[in-house]
Amino acid sequence: MLKNDLEKRFFPYVIKPGRYAGGEPGTVTKDHEGKTLYCHAYPDKYELGQSYLGLQTLYHIVNSDDRFVCERTYAADIDAEEVLRKENLPLFSLETFTALKDFDALGFTLSFEMVFTNLLNMLDLAGMAIRSSEREDSDPIIMAGGPAAYNPEPLADFVDLFFIGDAEIGLVEMLEIIHELKGKSKREKLLTIVQKVQSVYIPMFYDENRIPIEKSVPKQIFARTVPDLKSEYYPTHPIVPLVETVHEHLSIEIMRGCPQGCRFCQAGSIYRPVRMRPIDELVKLVETQVKNSGTEVVTLLSLSSSDYKEIEDLATIVARKLEKDRVSVTLPSLRPGTISSKLLNAVKRVRRSGMTIAPEAGSERLRAFIRKNFSDETVYDTVSLAYEKGWTTIKLYFMVGLPTETYKDLDGIVNMIQNVYKIGTTTAGRKKVNVTLSPFVPKAHTPFQWDEIVAPEEVLKRINYVKFQFKNSNISFKYPVVETNLLQGLIGRGGRVMGKVLETAYNNGARFDGWNEFFDFERWENALKEHGIDYREMLKPIPFSKDLPWSHIIKGVSSSQLQKERERTSMQLMDFIPQKRDFEVPNTVQVVEFGRTKNKIASKQAFAPTKNKVRFRFGKDSRYKYMGHLDNLRLIERVLRKSKLPIAFSQGFNPSMKLSFGPPLTLGFTSEAEFMDITFDSNFMPEMVETLKESMPEGLTLYDAKIIFSRTKSISALLNRAVYTIDLDKIPNRDLLKEKISTLLAQEKVEVERHKKKGTILLDLRSAIYSLEIKSDKLFLTLGIGEGGYAKPGEILQLLLGDDYDLYMMNFLHRLDLYRQEENGKIIRAMEL
Ligand code: SF4
């Protein structure tokens, strides 16, 4: 079975095994018998993919149908790829560790062009040919959708089928056909799909110029739009990641589409029209998902949440309902001018994250040109309000290299950053301005799709022009490797020939191109050269008359309408007379010295009233063995939030639970000796134990609870012994093991090398090895922990089992007990300390 092979030959050797181990609360595991197997594939790291809301909805929709199974897979990180290739193991799904080749269909989400090489790599790691024409009939049908599928041509040689638009209904329609035609050829399935399902593009039925070569296929593909965002699309039990992800929030989609229509914005274009979800449904969904996930932060998500018609009411109702459980509400980037005092009061109720504003351009002229129609003054009013309400960090997003941009526009960015910072100095406390400068990329299906891509060296010059005008440690800058945006533009506007470049770059080693640390432009330059492409030519504006590679994909607005809009923009540029608004810093500037002013928030209570502090012992089974210590802590915090028990919180802007934990557990271990001390806000009642038990997901078990005195030292500081066990049936040569134990215990010194940050040191562990015993088919290791000297189980296993010790460490070790042994030999159990 693949699962066993992975446990032995994969999980022990990858850096973050938790990314590939599945088992998260909210996942669905079904019997495969008689079902059509679909695997949703995200061609990037788990930490990014699991934060993607579309995956949660499609996973839920497909799994709600008894005929289908939906599982998930993500790109194998560089280290994981190496292990899979070395061990000759295939890429697999997280739910049942099924090889991807055994699914009926794989559906990739294409969030942006920089994941395309990962898609090729995932196909290869799955053991399939990367080219569609070379795959077997028995291989899964490879589908793709998402924003970057709106120009499918660069992937036309690799993907069997593209679905354009909202997939909530279309995915099920396609799976129904695959289900009915089980056993038939891939061609027959694809032909039936294209005849019966709207919004499907199957490249093999078209020639290089996108002219149909099969009779029954459409000439143009119209993107699908679901008319209503039905409540049944959204799961009541969202998948809750066990390892830390990029966006830890629970995201609730409140609206799809954006009414603003900024001219550079592809999302604004392809997610049209605006569809808002009813406020009562949203409130109900938030309550249910928060209850079932134990989240700390809820994001009311959409492209422009402040344009949701009842945003103030929605945010206020949700914030009020969640406040008692210390769950906060956030809104993604807000549009200046739509942010009211009431809205900010709602989102600041529990904790504030940074306030994000995206002016995109620094001057009012350029903002009008790109259709971000708000004045500098509106930005400053919003920032003043945010500071007044206690925000201390403002995040500003700008684009560099927009059509018609001049250095005067860049001066506008500089002025705006300075002014936003200056406004912050008018209120007490340290303020920070975090600026992101992103190179502009002309996107398909926008009025700017024909525009020039500014050369990377010029973009960098412009970024530096802005950045080097600041020497203030409270103002920070972030920007990507500029060539990544260049490449996004080349691929995003490319035709099938870019697919050939993609394949060559992939064969040259390109992977995770969206990550600065892995991106290597040289690979791409070589690939472009190899195919005779001078990329500098591709940066130039595209004539309106030229056939565009995505002209067969239609999303509401036709190419001629986009052209008219682009031409209108040029006219507008000439007509535009900027309104003069000189920024003035208010007279009431206070000099802030080290944050000490009259306005400073009241200091914390000098004396915290006595609270009930309770120690719990709990355990975790193999489902959680690939979670690191910090991930364990986050899981427990979620469980506690879900339980709604009256946990005490720290004071301040970002209150956190008053919790402390016992010694961390090594990755790969199961345990029945985990301890946490919780401080409650009210008297502890025995029935709270039951409540906590009910909130724990399967695989976490609560064993014991006891009130402790709040003045005791932390449990980690008091413990000095740990007992681990390992089943002997997992160890091949027991006689040799017994012999090695006797030899080791007979030694006066047990020297090992321990690797520390500052270098490797030689240590004698003998005094920290208290016993190594074989009893009832188990090996028991009692080792020292804490300040008195410690031995790591891995160090001992390496001495006993040789170089294979990793395998045992990651799969079979169990922490049985933690206790304190006094000098006189008296043993005090952790619960008694
Ligand atoms: S407001 Fe944001 S999402 Fe809407 S069109 Fe403008 S940039 Fe796009």
- pLDDT of the residue at 533: 95
Determine the 3-state secondary structure of 287 from DSSP.
helix
Name the percent of the chain in helix, strand, coil, to the closest 5. Answer: 40, 20, 45
Contact 473, 431 (CB under 8 A): no
Q: Residues 223-257: pLDDT tens digits?
A: 999 999 999 999 999 999 999 888 888 999 999 99
Question: Is 303 a pocket residue for ligand 1 (Cβ < 6 Å)?
Answer: yes
Q: Residues 107-149: pLDDT tens digits?
A: 999 999 999 999 999 999 999 999 999 999 999 999 999 999 9
Question: Is 262 a pocket residue for ligand 1 (Cβ < 6 Å)?
Answer: yes
- pLDDT of the residue at 680: 87
Residue % of the chain over a pLDDT of 90: 64
| Angle at alpha carbon of residue 731, lines to 726 and 733, rounded to 5° | 140
Average pLDDT over residues 675-694: 86
Atom from ligand 1 closest to the CA of residue 303: 3
Tell me which DSSP letter residue 253 carries: E
Q: Residues 34-93: pLDDT tens digits?
A: 999 999 999 999 999 988 899 999 999 999 999 999 999 999 999 999 999 999 999 999
Q: Residues 766-787: pLDDT tens digits?
A: 999 999 999 888 889 999 998 7
Average pLDDT over residues 19-34: 95
More confident of the two residues 639 and 73: 73
Lowest mean pLDDT among 203-212, 251-260, 586-595: 586-595
Is pLDDT of 588 > 70? no
> Locate tokens 């609360």: which residue?
25
Q: Residues 377-408: pLDDT tens digits?
A: 999 999 999 999 888 999 999 999 999 999 99
Pocket test for ligand 1, best of 254, 263, 265 (most atoms within 8 A of CB): 265
The helix or strand, by DSSP H or E, that contains position 161, with its residue range, turns out to be strand 161-163
- In sequence order, what are the residues at sequence separation of 6 or more whose Cβ sits closer than 8 angstroms to the Cβ of residue 469? 414
Atom from ligand 1 closest to the CA of residue 372: 6
Structure tokens at 117: 């090489």
Question: Is 356 a pocket residue for ligand 1 (Cβ < 6 Å)?
Answer: no
Q: Calculate the dihedral angle through the C-alpha atoms of 724, 728, 731, 732, rounding to the nearest 10 degrees.
A: 170
Lowest mean pLDDT among 13-17, 88-92, 342-346: 342-346
- pLDDT of the residue at 400: 97
Question: Is 337 a pocket residue for ligand 1 (Cβ < 6 Å)?
Answer: no
Which residue has a Cα nearest atom 6 of ligand 1?
262
Contact 355, 335 (CB under 8 A): no
Nearest to 363 by CA among 315, 322, 318, 416: 416
Pocket test for ligand 1, best of 269, 270, 303, 366 (most atoms within 8 A of CB): 303
- pLDDT of the residue at 45: 96
Contact 562, 449 (CB under 8 A): yes
Determine the 3-state secondary structure of 323 from DSSP.
helix
Q: What is the mean pLDDT of the chain?
A: 89
Environment class of 179 (CB within 10 Å of its CB; exposed 0-12, middle 13-18, buried 19+):
middle
Atom from ligand 1 closest to the CA of residue 360: 7
Structure tokens at 138: 């028995």
Is pLDDT of 289 > 60? yes
Contact 642, 296 (CB under 8 A): no
Question: Is 268 a pocket residue for ligand 1 (Cβ < 6 Å)?
Answer: yes
Atom from ligand 1 closest to the CA of residue 333: 2
Question: Is 397 a pocket residue for ligand 1 (Cβ < 6 Å)?
Answer: no
Structure tokens at 207: 């020639």
Rounded to the nearest angstrom, the distance between the alpha carbon of 673 and the centre of ligand 1 is: 51
- pLDDT of the residue at 605: 36
Question: Is 627 a pocket residue for ligand 1 (Cβ < 6 Å)?
Answer: no
- In sequence order, what are the residues at sequence separation of 6 or more whose Cβ sits closer than 8 angstroms to the Cβ of residue 453? 401, 440, 441, 442, 486, 489, 490, 538, 539
Rounded to the nearest angstrom, the distance between the alpha carbon of 397 and the centre of ligand 1 is: 12
Entry pTM: 0.84
Rounded to the nearest angstrom, the distance between the alpha carbon of 369 and the centre of ligand 1 is: 14
- For residue 582, what pLDDT band results from cuts at 50, 70 and 90? very low
Contact 329, 319 (CB under 8 A): yes
Determine the 3-state secondary structure of 46 from DSSP.
helix
- For residue 607, what pLDDT band results from cuts at 50, 70 and 90? very low
Residue % of the chain over a pLDDT of 70: 94
Pocket test for ligand 1, best of 255, 262, 441 (most atoms within 8 A of CB): 262
